[in-house]
Amino acid sequence: MAFAHVTTWVFDLDETLYPVTTPLFPQIEARMVRWIMATLDVDEAEADRLRARWWHDHGTTLAGLMEEHGQDPDPFLDDVHEIDLSVLSPAPDLRAAIAALPGRKIIHTNGTVRYAERVLDARGLLGLWDAMHGIEHSPHHRPKPHAENYAAIHARDGLDPTRAAMFEDSARNLAVPHELGFACVHVAPERGDGAHVQHHTADLTGFLRDIVTTGP
């Protein structure tokens, strides 16, 4: 079985543990744009261009701001995550599917743990996790998909990558885990390209139920 060896189940947060259609990221991106406009004194179009470029080149907008402009991460993170979470709905079926997995369950997010706790609370998914690891636990706030992020989080957690599975909405964030020996699951409407996308699902709840009912 593809997951028979797995003892640690690693979940990304945003657009993995809630549907990609949920309007959270548009709120965050709008707050990022306003922050960039105010910080760099540029117009909205330029701020949005920089936001997108930094995400592409550095892994997160924050990483680009830090590297190119010396941004202090904490005020930025506090501001951009102050969003309306009422758009999230509780997910009792997903909760049951995660709870039924044999072994440890952890969160590994490019957001902060404080933000993750708020999102998980809104989804009814608090209390399931053996550990939560956020961007604040990576040296210099280095994000996924950079190898330094995974090394820091895995060392902090003590997990064995060869006995772990990772669930991610961003296919590029699975490349390093695949090299390390994770069982990699792309959670997205469409399957990403590359050997690092070993499994794909557009229905995380159903995928996890199948793991439990058919055996890992």
- If phi > 0 it is left, if psi is from -120 to 50 it is alpha, else beta; for residue 129 that is beta
Domain boundaries 25-80, corresponding CATH code: 1.10.150
Give pTM, 2 decimals. 0.91
- pLDDT value of position 60: 85
Q: pLDDT-based confidence at 1, cuts 50/70/90?
A: low
Mean pLDDT, residues 155-162 taken together:
97
What digits encode the pLDDT tens for the residues 76-135?
999 999 999 999 999 999 999 999 999 999 999 999 999 999 999 999 999 999 999 999
Domain boundaries 8-20+89-214, corresponding CATH code: 3.40.50.1000
Q: pLDDT-based confidence at 214, cuts 50/70/90?
A: confident
- pLDDT value of position 156: 97
The β-bridge partners of 208 are none
Question: Which sequence spans correspond to the domains of the chain?
Answer: 8-20+89-214, 25-80
C-alpha 152/C-alpha 47 separation (Å) is 31
Please report, as a single letter, which amino acid is at residue 209: R
